[in-house]
Structure 1
């Protein structure tokens, strides 16, 4: 079963808002065996909407549309759908009751006619209940293609997808099984990994595909298998993951999208009943933000001192002024003292200290843009490494965060 996701709205085309709906919908469809073959964005234009509907008709099984269902006059999707389906709008009493209830009990204001009009739906449509808003979803079919129209507000769209669309698709359609397995690697680039696993990749069965998903400092390897027999494809995936571990086990840190490095580190610290803190300069608190993005991180993460200015390093962290004068603020010695101070002040088993030049300019130092020193204080001492992460600024910061967590993980595993 194939799908196209279509977003409607001038605000997307001019970059005023970012389309996050398409990714969510594609992921939800993939989990139930429906393959998204294309994502399209078009403006609020009647002719363009009609042309796109006609282009997609009978080419795919499913077209999911988001946007253009609000109460304002420029939201034209519903009217254009009626034109395409040679249909007319009727009031859906259940939707109207829901809208009136929301305005009376939640908004506590007098409802206007323009809001009542959101209860108008094409007469041939199946209404998809919107529990978080007033604009309902609509399910219509023409020829071999089902068209589903959803509001563009993300939390409203997600509610309809989760509670209405996915259960209906599962009930009514026979779909193949799709199994994914993601292997998370750190510290080695995509081209190096490809060279190391070339023979393994060449021997993958035809129904298993490999995708490289690189990011600064990390590469995810995603295996995808499709088939009618779930047990067969799950066993095949498991076998290939086991053999891959024998080839690049030294750089594998976890599995599946949810098991990102910050979650791996958190799991290790939780299991050992240990804690970590951070003292950040060039990353500006992003290591702390990354660590605390994991639910339950308060069990092991104690806090951060963001010592962006030199005086914060000396007056709050207690980094020696003599150390800075002798080695400059961007140095292994300063990173080491930052980590040790965070470990002492925040009373943690481990601490990360980081200083560097993210760019585009440099501090009062002889080190160029992209040079970063990362220190990890452990129960037994401190390790410090120097890196050159190049440019631009965002890349330097992202790679610094990843390398800091990678070093922390390595030190935890040594003990």
Structure 2
């Protein structure tokens, strides 16, 4: 390769791609490879034995960093305040995790004295942009290596053959159907029958949620308590962010809540299909919307909706480490200041519905909204308001009438 690299820190998952990347880096860059594993809540099954696997692949060491708490407190909860949802559907499960993974990878690189970073993202996906944009913002002096954009291997059989030639163990097989990515917030599934959008997903696709048809016949109610837009209690019991998300994932998933089958527009220009499961996210989004409807005035709520759309685009496009993100989160935090109160949601057959809401900062007043006689609103005042509200239409109509009258006289 053109540039001399002494030590590289690889974002390592233990899957087929990164297992092949370790020996490939050593052979092609003649460098020391340090494996970095981010624990973002993907589960013990994926992390079990991963350090030994990395060493067996040729890594000199393996650093496993627990990022779950940071992920929940510094990314998930702040993003919830923005109301971000990509293309009206996607709760950004994959995109949310990338900034803290990239940041921790840079931290490990500096700790071990590396001069390069590597990732296993393909040249067709969004993640290459997300990771490398973060690297550029955090460590522009480090070289970035993206093997999928350099090597000649193009398929799973190619990678398996590469590892077999070097007697490197790997649990992957040619017959693997799906590609999955899991973290505390969600799990995504691609591949298999999903590559044809005319195919309905089979139940093999879904791993966190039961089919709504198989969910309990009785609904379950949960009371969620919020302080300044952050969940603090579930059914009166205090929960830290990580525990709250895990708890809601389990409960809501059992009711079939949180499934999404979506064809989305990737940042790189192509469309892709994925099935996402975000049970806790769907519950929290519904609860936040219910609380906002009670507390925020019309113009603030309209702005929050626009902010959510723009922040979703920012997150999806990998622009977390930018001044714009800081500005937008500051606005969302300010908007969320009065979002304290209780929301009751009903979970039933794949649906989450807000059934009750209350807040000390509620702008709803029965004294104003009632059809009965009241002392705070004189209905006669509405006439002047409507006349001013429709003034532009009135003036336009008068002009049109004058023009029509003039034309008739000719």
Flag the structure with more relative contact order, 1 or 2, with Cα contacts below 8 A and sequence separation at least 6.
Answer: 2
**Category of TM-score, reference length = shorter chain:** under 0.3
More strand by share: 1
TM-score, reference length from structure 2: 0.24
